[in-house]
A and B are shown apart, each in its own frame.
Chain A
Amino acid sequence: MAIPAIETAGLTKFYGAQRGIEDLDLRVEQGEVFGYLGPNGAGKTTTIRLLLDLIRPTRGRASIAGHDVNAASVEARRLTGYLPGELKPPAQSTAAGFLAHLGRLRGGVERTAVEELAARLDLDLGRRIGDLSKGNKQKVGVIAAFMHDPEVLILDEPTTGLDPIRQEDVLDLVRERAAAGRTVFLSSHELDQVEHVAGRVGIVREGRLVAVESIAELKERAIRKVEVRLAGSADGIERLRDVPGVESFAREGDVVRLEVHGSMDALVKELATVPVQTLTSEPPELDEIFLSYYGRDHAA
């Protein structure tokens, strides 16, 4: 069997009495894009910092491409590209100077690789980092993570602080590297940020990995909130209650609120028969997915 890109066994970190992550058993295969989902404070960043040997586990172990992250940390990190949730690069350096320094720490990185990434992300490398906006600082981090074409990319909330166009650029980069056989470990607190790139996701909640699922299965379980504003008389609107996938139905005057499980196809077809003013659908919240996964009684 191939060596997994990332593997953890019983990985646990407590900060004093506070739980960071507990008994994490995870296996991410080479070439996989793995989404690591959880609300803020669930233990995502703790996991990533353990993988990078920035903090040490209370117990358990982890390896990257077969290299133990503690005993062979330099080898493990040599194969890794890392983007922290919020990068704080030194203010007085220029972006180019800082990236050159990081490249030297990796034993040299092609300057053209840096320039190409900067052009794609529309970053002026000559500017002082202290003068850059939060989003532009984040771009410096994206370049630092990708510039040496690492085997394993570990990205902690990679799209935060970036405008939607740049978010898409970063996700494109992720797709490209995945297509080239690289492994990407992507943390996020929103399913929408990973659903178009990840094949599988793990969900962490309160320091525990509660589920590992393919994106397709997860979406099947997801509950979306749908709000329909009616444009006129809506006789028989009550029958939406019985449409497959509709979990709940509430009506207040012209506004109908629904919770829909899985595919919306049947609902949309049924709505075609009533006068609709507006139709809004919220992306599923992670907690909602979790609830759907375990059932309301169980989670409460």
Chain B
Amino acid sequence: MRPDVALQALRERRRSLVWWALGVAALVLLTVAFYPSIRDDTAINEYVKDLPESLRGLFAGGELDIASPTGYLNSQIYALMAPLVFLVFAIGAGAGAVAGEEERGTLDFLLAHPLRRRDYAVQRFLALAALVAALSAVLLATTWLGSLAVELEIGFGRVLAATVSVGLLAVLFGTLALAAGSVRSGRAQAIAVAAGVAVAAWLLDGLGQAVDFLEPWRPLSPYYQAIGRNPLREGALWSSWTLLAAATAVLAVMAALGLERRDLRQ
């Protein structure tokens, strides 16, 4: 199998990737630039401590000390903003790869060429993973360089671990959107499925920190596995990453089989 479909997908997304990269870089650098102004501000921690635990879980990564380097980066970037941006990017790309091409009427003609449908789906998955990897590299580089510039002390290994987590989470939900659009046509529906599951996963992880009866279910949330376990503090999360990668692989296979067996829309 020659990677023509994957390469073409990357070519077509090249320009949009540049804009997303600029957006991520701006978000990270602006956020990091504010760190010196709150580093010595103890009042802000008092404020955070007064928040209900569930809100802190949902919106601040459960951090109590957001003036610390880890607490700041986690609560301001890695716990919510970066996953949010990455998920929007990946779900859009995943839903566009099959369902979007089908709605624009381009998939039909492409698959009238000597190209296996499952190869098409797998190559679009690989292109999605490559796009997210590129965006992850931007997140990693800007966070690390920004941190150096404002003397926000955090190890490179831990920034790398948190970035890997965000990337894997995005690829998982992007692949879910790809699979949803492959099994049944409809771009809006594919986005809705992936976004719905992502929000549920985020709620389960965030609320699970505060609500007793949800707590035992937290590990079921991909959000917990990637973000809730706090890779920024804990470093590499090999077991969680393996789980996320395995779930992604299952969805990629579903996408390939789903596209293989159904009728295409004109």
Contact = CB atoms under 8 A, between A and B. Distances in A.
A105 B114 contact: yes
B190 to A, nearest CB: 19
Nearest to A56: B263
Interface stretch (A88-96, A225-233, A257-265, A288-296): A88-96
Given A52-B112, A54-B112, A89-B109, 5 more contacts: A74-B114, A77-B115, A82-B112, A93-B12, A144-B109
Interface in A74-101: 74-75, 77-78, 80, 82, 84, 86-90, 92-93, 97, 101
A54 B106 contact: no
Given A84-B108, A90-B106, A101 B8 contact: yes
Contacts of B104: 88, 90
Given A90-B12, A90-B106, A105 B263 contact: no
B263 A54 contact: yes
Given A54-B263, A54-B264, A56-B263, A87 B114 contact: no
Interface of B: 2, 4-5, 8, 11-12, 15, 104-106, 108-116, 261-264, 266
Nearest to A105: B113
Contact of A77 (B4, B11, B112): B112
Contacts of B15: 92
A75 B2 CA distance: 16
Contacts of B261: 56
A47 B216 CA distance: 55
A101 B115 CA distance: 12
Nearest to A55: B263
Contacts of B109: 82, 84, 87-89, 141, 144
Nearest to A91: B104
A74 B111 contact: no
B116 A74 contact: yes
Contact of B106 (A82, A88, A106, A144): A88
Given A84-B109, A88-B104, A88-B105, A74 B115 contact: yes
Listed residue (A78, A80, A97, A101) with the most chain B CB atoms within 10 angstroms of its CB? A101
Contacts, number: 62
Closest 8 CB pairs of A and B: A88-B105, A78-B114, A55-B263, A105-B113, A82-B112, A104-B4, A77-B114, A52-B112
Interface in A107-166: 107, 141, 144
A87 B108 CA distance: 10
Listed residue (B4, B15, B108, B114) with the most chain A CB atoms within 10 angstroms of its CB? B114
Given A87-B109, A89-B106, A101-B4, A49 B266 contact: yes
A80 B109 CA distance: 12
6 contacts: A49-B264, A74-B116, A77-B115, A88-B106, A102-B110, A106-B113
A63 interface: no
Interface in A41-68: 45, 49, 52, 54-56
Contacts of B4: 101, 104-105
Nearest to B261: A56
Interface string A186-215: 000000000000000000000000000000
A93 B8 CA distance: 10
Nearest to B5: A105
Contacts of B266: 45, 49
B124 to A, nearest CB: 14
Nearest to B4: A104
Contacts of A56: 261-263
Nearest to A13: B263
Given A49-B266, A92-B12, A105 B110 contact: yes
Contacts of B263: 54-56
A52 B111 CA distance: 9
Contacts of A49: 108, 264, 266
Contacts of A74: 114-116
A74 B117 CA distance: 10
Interface in A12-38: none
A54 B111 contact: yes
